Amino acid sequence: MFRTTSRKPPKASEPASPPAENTAAAFQGLYSYARPHSRKFALVLVCTLLAISGDLLQPFLVKIAIDDHLAKGAEFGALGLIALVYLILSLTSFLFSYLQDNLLQQAGQSVVAGIRKDLFRHILRQSVAYYDRTPSGSLITYVSSDTESLNQFFTGVLLSLVRDGMTLLFIIVLMFQLDVTMTLYCLLLLPLIAGIAIGFRAYLRRTYQLSRTQLSRLIAFTAENLSGMQLIQAFHQEKEQQTRFLERNDGYYRANLREIRTNVLFNRSFDVLGNLSVAFVTWLGGYAVLGHSIEFGVLYAFITYIRQFFQPINNITQQWNQLQSATVSVNRIWSVFSQQPVVRDPEHPVPLVPAEVQGRIDFERISFHYGEEGPDVIQDLDLHIRPGEMIGIVGTTGAGKSSLISLLCRFYDVQKGSIRIDGTDIRDIEPKTLHRLVGLVQQEPYLYSGSILDNVRLFDPSISAEAVQAACRRVGAHAMILRLKDGYETRVSERGSGLSAGERQLISFARILVFEPRILILDEATANLDSHTELMIQKALQEAAKGRTTLIIAHRLSTITGADRILVMRQGRIAEEGSHRELLELGGHYWQLHRYGRSPAAGAG
Ligand SMILES: Nc1ncnc2c1ncn2[C@@H]1O[C@H](COP(=O)(O)OP(=O)(O)OP(=O)(O)O)[C@@H](O)[C@H]1O
């Protein structure tokens, strides 16, 4: 199905707040993505161990140099050897830190690329109802910044937990080796550190959540504005939108400042605590040295270790915000993964061969409403369309015309009745087959960023350039395309800017000829086309409709006067039905529309 832009863009609702966090549960799901890279993670662990050992043995070496050699008179040979070992330890630490960082980046990036791929695929699988209620800005946040936040988890948080956790453990072991009493005194600081960390924890979490929600609001709002820019300018809404943007921008700014303030306070508290601890050890150790219960080298090593002791604690707590934001992100990503499409694929699809399908369509007493509950926008509608028939649909705004074709495309499922193609319920047709059977040209045909050639063949390289050109010739788009700067290779941007609405529609018709769906649905552009373009579109439509069952939502009656049958819809029902002539003779609603020359879709409901 060659769906273009949605006629009803998602409602401008704010993104939902992140769900309640449960760090362990959130990260359990990551395990399946990380498992294929377990060898790399194991190597990271080995490298980390070696890097830490290289680092932490250095003060121990200096202690040996002071106490065993310097204090007992200079032994140049031994000191030289110690200096050499010190150098080797430094290089070991450098080399394995480098390897560890690189390997971890590789593993982390692979995990995140895998998640991003699955997430995008999952979002693509969602039903249209999901896009109705989820602002596109939120989806952009999920795929870009939430996955990026996961990347930071692997390369920042995980590394810190492993590296700094092991460093702490090693330092404690080495300190016990040096002096048990001094170590026990130092460990008294642990409850204080834990107290501060826990005290900040809840507050930090709230600030991170708030700033992410504010960012999501800002992105959602910006994305909405970009997609509705023409409308904003047409209605001179720039000032109002600017005010609304400022409100969101301000919200994000304030949330960000609060986050930074909390962070700085947290880090500085740790710095002060670190300095106080050094003073404490110097005081305690100084007494011990003076009392000859420990040697000077031991005091030196203790002071170095206590400094190093705070670094990993500080690192881990600094990573806390990253962990918070990764938890929020991972929860949001999982909540997207947990969404199941409401329009389900059939369990036992009926095997239909598109080329053999005749194109009969039966709407069997269908009723439909949007969402869980609400008024029926299609009410007990019964309609039977013969293969190859051309049906024109007119009706007032909100009569249900677009809803009817959305149902045929299976963007939504009916709540009552069934829609059948050649007798098969469309719910039993595999989506791939249904999409090949039904071709849709929407009011505002969507063009992907890429060449015109790829836009016609929808990036399917098995369709030759010649086939594309032949289709474009048939719909009368060839000459227009050749006039463009690079002909078929001309690149168009998203939404096809650079081409007129009529030209975009011609390209959509060429798509139809290339993909040959049995059923063609056209939602006619409401834009006023000049008479030349209108004529071209009419011709293109006739060409595209040849041999196909065609449904046209018409905004200009002239488009459908030649249709086999015209349906006039009112409040979700078919109010009148017949050929142009029959309906005029009936003298009803259609006659009125014709007589007063009004665009049927523009009339009041
Ligand atoms: N995604 C949606 N979610 C909720 N309600 C919707 C949605 N799309 C349409 N509706 C409602 O369903 C009813 C029928 O709308 P529909 O778009 O089918 O009418 P239409 O005849 O195509 O109108 P128009 O000619 O203005 O496009 C309207 O009341 C509309 O507000």
81 and 178 assigned to the same domain: yes
**pLDDT above 90 (res 202):** no
Q: Ligand 1 test: best mutation among 5, 6, 7, 8, most atoms within 8 Å of CB?
A: 8
Would you say how long the chain is, in residues? 605
445 and 330 assigned to the same domain: no
- pLDDT tens digit sequence for 78-112: 788 888 999 999 999 999 999 998 998 898 888 88
527 in any annotated domain: yes
Which pLDDT band holds residue 356 (cuts at 50, 70, 90)? confident
Atom of ligand 1 nearest to the CA of 569: 21
Which pLDDT band holds residue 605 (cuts at 50, 70, 90)? very low
Cβ atoms of 551 and 519 within 8 Å: the answer is yes
Atom of ligand 1 nearest to the CA of 132: 1
**pLDDT above 50 (res 7):** no
Q: What's the rounded mean pLDDT across residues 544-556?
A: 86
384 and 474 assigned to the same domain: yes
Q: Which string of DSSP letters, residue by residue, matches 62-89? A: HHHIIIIIITT---HHHHHHHHHHHHHH
**What's the domain count of the chain?**
2
Pick the residue whose CA is nearest to atom 12 on ligand 1: 377
383 and 451 assigned to the same domain: yes
Output the furthest CA–CA distance in the chain (Å, rounded): 122
Using the mean position of ligand 1's atoms as its centre, give its distance from the Cα of residue 236 in Å.
25
- Paired with 381 in beta bridges are 366
Cβ atoms of 487 and 451 within 8 Å: the answer is no
Cβ atoms of 23 and 204 within 8 Å: the answer is no
Full-prediction pTM beyond 0.90?
no
322 and 419 assigned to the same domain: no
395 in any annotated domain: yes
CATH of the domain at 253: 1.20.1560.10
Using the mean position of ligand 1's atoms as its centre, give its distance from the Cα of residue 399 in Å.
7
Pick the residue whose CA is nearest to atom 24 on ligand 1: 397
ipTM, two decimals: 0.96
Atom of ligand 1 nearest to the CA of 406: 18
Cβ atoms of 603 and 570 within 8 Å: the answer is no
535 in any annotated domain: yes
Cβ atoms of 568 and 590 within 8 Å: the answer is yes
C-alpha dihedral sign at 243, 247, 249, 254: positive
Instruction: Return the residue matching tokens 């996961």.
Output: 150
Atom of ligand 1 nearest to the CA of 403: 18
- pLDDT tens digit sequence for 168-188: 899 999 889 888 988 898 888
CA 32 → CA 88, 114, 150, 263, distances in Å?
39, 11, 14, 32
Using the mean position of ligand 1's atoms as its centre, give its distance from the Cα of residue 551 in Å.
17
Pick the residue whose CA is nearest to atom 2 on ligand 1: 370
- Paired with 438 in beta bridges are 519
Using the mean position of ligand 1's atoms as its centre, give its distance from the Cα of residue 402 in Å.
7
322 and 453 assigned to the same domain: no
Using the mean position of ligand 1's atoms as its centre, give its distance from the Cα of residue 11 in Å.
13
290 and 372 assigned to the same domain: no
* Residue predicted with more confidence, 544 or 242: 242
Q: What's the rounded mean pLDDT across residues 34-56?
A: 91
Q: Ligand 1 test: best mutation among 11, 402, 404, most atoms within 8 Å of CB?
A: 402
Pick the residue whose CA is nearest to atom 4 on ligand 1: 370
Q: What per-residue confidence (pLDDT) applies to 94?
A: 94
552 and 598 assigned to the same domain: yes
Instruction: Return the residue matching tokens 């895998």.
Output: 114
Q: What is the DSSP letter of 235?
A: T
3 in any annotated domain: no
Using the mean position of ligand 1's atoms as its centre, give its distance from the Cα of residue 438 in Å.
21
Instruction: Return the residue matching tokens 């290289």.
Output: 54
Cβ atoms of 576 and 568 within 8 Å: the answer is yes
Q: Ligand 1 test: best mutation among 401, 553, 593, most atoms within 8 Å of CB?
A: 401
Choosing from 302, 337, 372, the residue where a domain stops is: 337
Q: What per-residue confidence (pLDDT) applies to 208?
A: 80
Cβ atoms of 435 and 1 within 8 Å: the answer is yes
Which pLDDT band holds residue 262 (cuts at 50, 70, 90)? confident
* Percentage of the residues of the chain whose pLDDT score is greater than 90: 22
Q: What per-residue confidence (pLDDT) applies to 294?
A: 84
Using the mean position of ligand 1's atoms as its centre, give its distance from the Cα of residue 570 in Å.
12
Using the mean position of ligand 1's atoms as its centre, give its distance from the Cα of residue 369 in Å.
10
Element (H, E) at 23: helix 23-34
Pick the residue whose CA is nearest to atom 17 on ligand 1: 402
**pLDDT above 90 (res 198):** no
Packing angle of the helix pair 501-515, 531-545 (nearest 10 deg): 10
Which pLDDT band holds residue 43 (cuts at 50, 70, 90)? very high
Pick the residue whose CA is nearest to atom 1 on ligand 1: 132
375 and 422 assigned to the same domain: yes
Atom of ligand 1 nearest to the CA of 7: 27
268 and 370 assigned to the same domain: no
* Beta strands 491-492; 450-451: pairing state: antiparallel
Using the mean position of ligand 1's atoms as its centre, give its distance from the Cα of residue 370 in Å.
9
Q: Ligand 1 test: best mutation among 370, 405, 557, most atoms within 8 Å of CB?
A: 370
Q: Ligand 1 test: best mutation among 403, 413, 526, 573, most atoms within 8 Å of CB?
A: 403
CATH of the domain at 579: 3.40.50.300
**pLDDT above 80 (res 243):** yes
153 in any annotated domain: yes
Using the mean position of ligand 1's atoms as its centre, give its distance from the Cα of residue 534 in Å.
26
- pLDDT tens digit sequence for 483-523: 888 888 988 876 656 777 778 888 888 888 888 889 999 88
353 in any annotated domain: no
Using the mean position of ligand 1's atoms as its centre, give its distance from the Cα of residue 526 in Å.
16
Using the mean position of ligand 1's atoms as its centre, give its distance from the Cα of residue 461 in Å.
36
* Residue predicted with more confidence, 2 or 596: 596
Atom of ligand 1 nearest to the CA of 400: 18
- Please state, in angstroms and rounded to a whole number, the distance separating the CA atoms of residues 205 and 322: 10
- pLDDT tens digit sequence for 335-346: 888 888 888 888
509 in any annotated domain: yes
Q: What is the DSSP letter of 375?
A: -
Atom of ligand 1 nearest to the CA of 555: 25
Give the structural domain span for 105: 24-337
426 and 539 assigned to the same domain: yes
Q: What per-residue confidence (pLDDT) applies to 408?
A: 94
332 and 403 assigned to the same domain: no
- Please state, in angstroms and rounded to a whole number, the distance separating the CA atoms of residues 249 and 242: 10
Using the mean position of ligand 1's atoms as its centre, give its distance from the Cα of residue 422 in Å.
27
- Please state, in angstroms and rounded to a whole number, the distance separating the CA atoms of residues 19 and 443: 37
Interacting residues of 349 by C-beta distance below 8 A, sequence separation 6+: 428, 429, 430, 433
Q: What per-residue confidence (pLDDT) applies to 412?
A: 92
Using the mean position of ligand 1's atoms as its centre, give its distance from the Cα of residue 403 in Å.
6
Q: What average pLDDT is seen over the chain? A: 83
- Please state, in angstroms and rounded to a whole number, the distance separating the CA atoms of residues 224 and 132: 13
Using the mean position of ligand 1's atoms as its centre, give its distance from the Cα of residue 394 in Å.
14
Which pLDDT band holds residue 258 (cuts at 50, 70, 90)? very high
User: Residues enclosing ligand 1, CB less than 6 A?
Assistant: 7-8, 132, 370, 377, 395, 397-403, 601
Instruction: Return the residue matching tokens 């309640």.
Output: 20
**pLDDT above 90 (res 567):** yes
- Please state, in angstroms and rounded to a whole number, the distance separating the CA atoms of residues 13 and 137: 11
* Residue predicted with more confidence, 110 or 30: 110
C-alpha dihedral sign at 441, 443, 449, 450: positive
Amino acid at position 602, single letter: A
Cβ atoms of 508 and 536 within 8 Å: the answer is no
**pLDDT above 80 (res 199):** no
Q: What's the rounded mean pLDDT across residues 444-451?
A: 81
Pick the residue whose CA is nearest to atom 5 on ligand 1: 370
348 in any annotated domain: no
- pLDDT tens digit sequence for 288-333: 888 888 888 888 888 888 888 777 877 777 677 678 778 888 888 8
